[in-house]
A = this chain, B = another copy of it.
Amino acid sequence: MVELIQNFTAGEADLMNADKIPDIIIGRLPVYLRALQRLSAKGIQTTSSQELGEIVGISAAQIRKDISQFGEFGKQGTGYSIPFLIERLKDILKVDRVWEVVIVGMGDMGHALARYNGFANRGFIIKMLFDNDPKKVGQKVGEFEILDLNTMAEKIKQNKIKIAMLTVPAAAAQEVAEQLVKAGVKAILNYAPTSISVPAGVRVQHIDPATHLQRMTYYLE
C-alpha cells in the first residue's frame, strides 16, 4: 500500500547550484517535506528513513544520504525528529516564509489554481490574478478580482513578486513569460501546453499531463 509520491526533478546530479547541492536532491526535498507534514498533522513526532521511504517510494538509503547533505538530523536507531526535520527542510527550501504568487490566464486551469486549497502552510499565497479578456477583468474568483494583463508588469514590480503560475494558451505563453521575467519573476510554473524559453537565472517547471502519464504507461501491461 505504498503510494509512489514522485518528485519533480531536473534529473541531474551534475546540475549544481551555487552551494553545490545537486539539483536532483533539491528536487526530492519537497516530497520529503510533504510526507513529514502529513505525519506531523497526524500527531506523529518521529520517523525513520524506512518509514519515510515507504511513504514516498524512495529507498531508505537514498533518504539518509539526501538528508545527511544538510547536516546531522538523527542518531542511529532513534530516527528523525519530525518537527525538527520539517523546520530544517522549510529553511533549506526557503518556504519558512510566505511567497506571493500570481496566476496569469484565468481559464479553467487558472480558476482551479486560484481555488486550490493545497497551498496552506506550504510557503505560498496567491496574491493576484491576471487575464487579458475584458469580459473576465473585474470578475471575482473567491476573494480575488481578476486584473488586467496590461497592468501586470507594474503590479508585479511594485509588489516584488518572484513567482508566477502561467495558465495562458500555448500561443501566448512565450510572450507572457517574457513579460513576467522582465517584471522580475524568477520562477514560473508553466501549465501551458508548450515549452517556454527563459534567461539563465529563471527557473521553469512544466506541468504537462501527457509527460506525467507517459511516466506510468511503461509499467502497464
Contacts and interface: CB of A to CB of B under 8 A. Distances in A.
Interface of A: 1-12, 14-15, 17, 24, 26-31, 33-35, 38, 55-59, 61-62, 92-95, 99, 101, 107-109, 111-113, 115-119, 122-124, 162-163, 165, 170, 186-187, 189, 193-200, 203-221
Contacts of A101: 213
A96 to B, nearest CB: 10
A154 to B, nearest CB: 21
A207 B212 CA distance: 9
B30 A214 contact: yes
Nearest to A119: B210
A56 B107 CA distance: 27
Given A7-B10, A118-B208, A186-B219, 18 more contacts: A1-B198, A4-B203, A6-B205, A8-B212, A9-B215, A14-B62, A17-B218, A93-B218, A94-B217, A108-B111, A108-B112, A112-B112, A118-B210, A119-B209, A122-B210, A162-B220, A187-B220, A189-B213
A212 B217 contact: no
Contacts of A214: 29-30, 33, 93, 95, 122-123
A197 B204 CA distance: 29
Given A111-B108, A218-B93, A213 B4 contact: no
A9 B12 contact: no
A5 B204 contact: yes
A221 B214 CA distance: 34
Contacts of A17: 218-219
Given A57-B15, A217-B94, A219-B187, A108 B115 contact: yes
Nearest to A5: B206
The 8 closest A-B pairs by CB, nearest first: A118-B193, A108-B112, A30-B214, A122-B210, A187-B216, A109-B112, A108-B111, A203-B216
